[in-house]
Amino acid sequence: MQISQEFQKNRWKLGLVIPISLGAIAFLNLIMSLIFYFNSQAVVKTMNWVNHTNEVKVRIRSLEKFLVDAETRQRGFIFSGEEEFLESYLEGLQNQESVKIELKKMISDNPEQLQRLAQIELLIKDKVDELAMTINLKRSGKEQELRNLVLSGKGKKIMDELRVRIIEMYQVENQLLEDRQKELEQAEQFSRIATLTGTIIILGLICISIRFIQQGIIQPIERISLDITTSSSQIATTIEEQERITHQQAISVNQTTATVNQLATSSRQMATQAETTSASGNQVLSLTKEGYQAVELSVQGIATLKTNSERIVQQTQDLEKQTVEIGTISNLVSNIAMQTNLLALNAAVEAVRAGEQGKGFGVVASEIRKLADQSKHSAYQINVLVQEINHSINSTIKVTTEGTHTVNEIMQMAETTVLTFDKVSSSVNNMVLNSQQIAMNIKQQDIAIQQIVEVINTINQGAGETAAGISQTKISTQQLNQVAKILTDLM
């Protein structure tokens, strides 16, 4: 059917669409999870490097602060000579050693920074030596040497060189911090973009899956459900019409049966009349023999013969009318058989359209067509018999007319009666033979009519079976319509 072909062409298998869609979504979600995981690891790593760089900067600033504090404590001691200024100075010396060790570990992956740190360590050593020398000179009371050393600017040069090196190292860490912050921002931005893009793609894939399911599964099922509902409604209407036609056909068959029964009765009456005509012919033949004995009796016999001939003509004309009616009924039976054949053909076509539900209906339609063909053939045989009867009737009328003409001549010319007795006898003999032939034909007609009655009864029985099959098909169609409505409600 066209519905099935369209469904086969446009369908999407539910067992494929849903697993593929969910699998694609799960796969994409897995990819997004992996991307998010690795990107998170990169973000954490970058953040650790940022923190590491900040700690390096803190350590560098600690070295600078130590030098500034040491120089401040050294000046305080030089100006005041009090040892308490040296307590924090000595404590700072110990702390700066631990800071240098930590800083060296932290920048161990950067050879350039290690080189700068080594230079700074040498400068710090020189600065510490210079500070220690001034402190020792102060303790020794060598003020002039101390003054000369301070005024020489050696400590300031070392300190300036230290600041330059520390600033260089600090700037390198600032650059590293800036680069790592950019990497962190890029990683965070990539994470946001990947998350947003993945979410959009997943939503898009979900929308596409819903669209595919809607177009490939839901809509075809809805269309098929609608087509089934429409088709079942059309089939129901057709079945109701077929049921009405079958009922009318049954009524027509019953009427035809009654008419054919009447025709059979008339046929039997015609057979009786034909036998009577044959007996009358025998009587006329006897009268012609008696005419040889007496002309007067012959005249009377001829008058009787004339009367009987007129009766035969009348009966023959009645028989001709009845044969015409038989032909009309036979044509009617043939037309009914043709209409029944067409109805059976239409029923077979509807059975094919109904599919599995209409197979029984198709078999019944096929049997109806066979019965219709048999009815048509029987009607054809009846028409042939009617034509033969008409031919015989025409012959009888012709012979009877000739007999009547002969009787008139005998009545007009009594003197020629003896000469015409032979002709009359021959004519009467032919009439008897024709009457016997008519009787035989009528018996054959009666047999054919009985066959017609049997065929009509068979047709009537087939019509009843067809009506039962149509009723069953109607019930199945109603059930199909209910199923289609339920399917439509589910969609």
Average pLDDT (30-43) is 75
Asked if the model's pLDDT at residue 7 lies above 50, the reply is: no
- Which of 326, 323, 364, 328 is CA-nearest to residue 345? 364
307 and 180 within one domain: no
- Which of 476, 59, 415, 8 is CA-nearest to residue 236? 476
Reported confidence tier of residue 168, pLDDT bands at 50, 70, 90 = confident
Reported confidence tier of residue 120, pLDDT bands at 50, 70, 90 = confident
> Which domain-ending residue is among 176, 192, 222?
222
Asked if the model's pLDDT at residue 361 lies above 60, the reply is: yes
In a domain, 105, yes or no: yes
CA 319 to CA 332: how far, in whole Å? Answer: 20
In a domain, 296, yes or no: yes
* Distance linking the first and last C-alpha atoms of the chain: 22
Residues 278-335 have pLDDT tens digits of 676 677 567 667 766 765 676 676 678 678 767 776 877 787 787 778 778 878 877 8
Reduce the DSSP state of residue 398 to 3 states and report it.
Answer: helix
> Which domain-ending residue is among 222, 251, 266?
222
Query: Count of CB atoms within 10 A of residue 115's CB?
Result: 11
422 and 324 within one domain: yes
Reduce the DSSP state of residue 81 to 3 states and report it.
Answer: coil
Q: 272 — phi, psi (to 5°)?
A: -60, -45
In a domain, 168, yes or no: yes
Question: DSSP string of 346-377?
Answer: HHHHHHHHHGGGGHHHHHHHHHHHHHHHHHHH
Query: Count of CB atoms within 10 A of residue 141's CB?
Result: 10
Percent of the chain with pLDDT over 90: 0
Q: What is the pLDDT of residue 324?
A: 76
Q: What is the pLDDT of residue 407?
A: 65
381 and 322 within one domain: yes
246 and 393 within one domain: yes
Domain extent, residue 33, equals 12-222
Based on the number of CB atoms within 10 Å of its own CB, is 410 exposed (0-12), middle (13-18) or buried (19 or more)?
buried
Q: What is the pLDDT of residue 296?
A: 67
CA distances from 115 to 110, 118, 127, 199 (A): 9, 5, 18, 49
In a domain, 297, yes or no: yes
CA 435 to CA 393: how far, in whole Å? Answer: 9
Reported confidence tier of residue 453, pLDDT bands at 50, 70, 90 = low
298 and 269 within one domain: yes
Range from 16-20, 96-100, 158-162, 441-445 that averages highest in pLDDT: 158-162
In a domain, 7, yes or no: no
CA 179 to CA 187: how far, in whole Å? Answer: 12
Query: What's the mean pLDDT when you consider all of the chain?
Result: 74
CA 95 to CA 130: how far, in whole Å? Answer: 19
Domain count, the chain: 2
189 and 133 within one domain: yes
In a domain, 314, yes or no: yes
214 and 295 within one domain: no
The first and second tokens of residue 10, run together, are 């446009």
Reduce the DSSP state of residue 293 to 3 states and report it.
Answer: coil
193 and 293 within one domain: no
203 and 234 within one domain: no
311 and 207 within one domain: no
In a domain, 103, yes or no: yes
> Which domain-ending residue is among 222, 241, 260?
222
Residues 380-413 have pLDDT tens digits of 887 888 788 778 777 777 876 776 777 677 677 7
CA 314 to CA 390: how far, in whole Å? Answer: 15
325 and 185 within one domain: no
In a domain, 1, yes or no: no
Asked if the model's pLDDT at residue 445 lies above 80, the reply is: no
Average pLDDT (76-102) is 72
Name, in order, each residue with C-beta under 8 angstroms of 403's C-beta and a sequence gap of 6 or more.
305, 309, 424, 427, 428, 431
Q: Which residue in the block uniquely carries the two structure tokens 């029923």?
A: 347
Reported confidence tier of residue 431, pLDDT bands at 50, 70, 90 = low
155 and 52 within one domain: yes
Tell how many helices (H) and how many strands (E) occur in the chain: 10, 0
Domain CATH code at residue 249 = 1.10.287
